[in-house]
Amino acid sequence: MNAQSEFTKVAKDLVVSLEYTLTVDGEVIDSSEESGPIDYIQGHENIIAGLESALDGMNVGEAKKVNVKAKDAYGEYDPEAVEEIPLSEFPNDIPLEVGVELAVEDEDEGPISAVIEEVGKDSVTLNFNHPLAGKDLNFDVKILSIRAATAEELEHGHVHDEDEDCDCDDADCDCHKNN
């Protein structure tokens, strides 16, 4: 017997190491060749739903192409989510240039991100759609390895680095309370 993980199939609560290339409209926009493989916990909404469900049951070493429709990825493009806002509502220190991404405070939803689409004389047009809204995502994926999640990882709902303590962005996570 070798010392490999006893888990060979992607299933809920397992940590999956994944090699991937993401192609949108024929262009590679993200790849593990550049950023390294991702580790995530299956079944914890760490990755987009359409991809997670396609990976379920895959074997270590298995590769496949996964097409995720816009509605199962970042949603359909919403033409109504583009708003013209008076220039006077923007603080002076914000760089108002086309393409700049802003976090806008929404009364109901908290901070939501928007991209400046147009800067006019008295107003700024903000696009609240996700940059990948309306886009089908084409993934080439390969399962590199699978292991059991630790109890702490399951509690946090995300993967921890092997030698590092948790340093996630989740403000509710215990890791920010103990340190």
Q: Which of residues 21-50 bind Zn ion (CB under 5 A)?
A: none
Nearer to Zn ion, 121 or 177 (CB): 177
What is the Cα–Cα distance from 51 to 158, expressed in whole angstroms?
Answer: 17
- The one among 112, 173, 177, 179 contacting Zn ion by CB under 5 A: 173
Q: Which of residues 136-165 bind Zn ion (CB under 5 A)?
A: 156
* Residue 110 backbone class (left: φ over 0; alpha: ψ -120 to 50; beta: rest): left
Q: Closest separation between CB of residue 22 and Zn ion, Å?
A: 25
Instruction: Tell how many helices (H) and how many strands (E) occur in the chain.
Output: 4, 9
What is the Cα–Cα distance from 42 to 19, expressed in whole angstroms?
Answer: 15
Q: Closest separation between CB of residue 57 and Zn ion, Å?
A: 26
Residue 97: closest CA among 81, 111, 118: 118
Q: Closest separation between CB of residue 5 and Zn ion, Å?
A: 21
Q: Closest separation between CB of residue 32 and Zn ion, Å?
A: 22
Q: DSSP secondary structure string, 5-64?
A: -S--B--TTEEEEEEEEEEETTEEEEEHHHH--EEEETTTTSS-HHHHHHHTTPBTT-EE
Contact between 166 and Zn ion by CB under 5 A: the answer reads yes
What number of chain residues touch Zn ion (CB under 5 A)? 5
- The one among 120, 175, 177, 179 contacting Zn ion by CB under 5 A: 175
Q: Closest separation between CB of residue 166 and Zn ion, Å?
A: 3
Q: Which residues bind Zn ion (CB under 5 A)?
A: 156, 166, 168, 173, 175
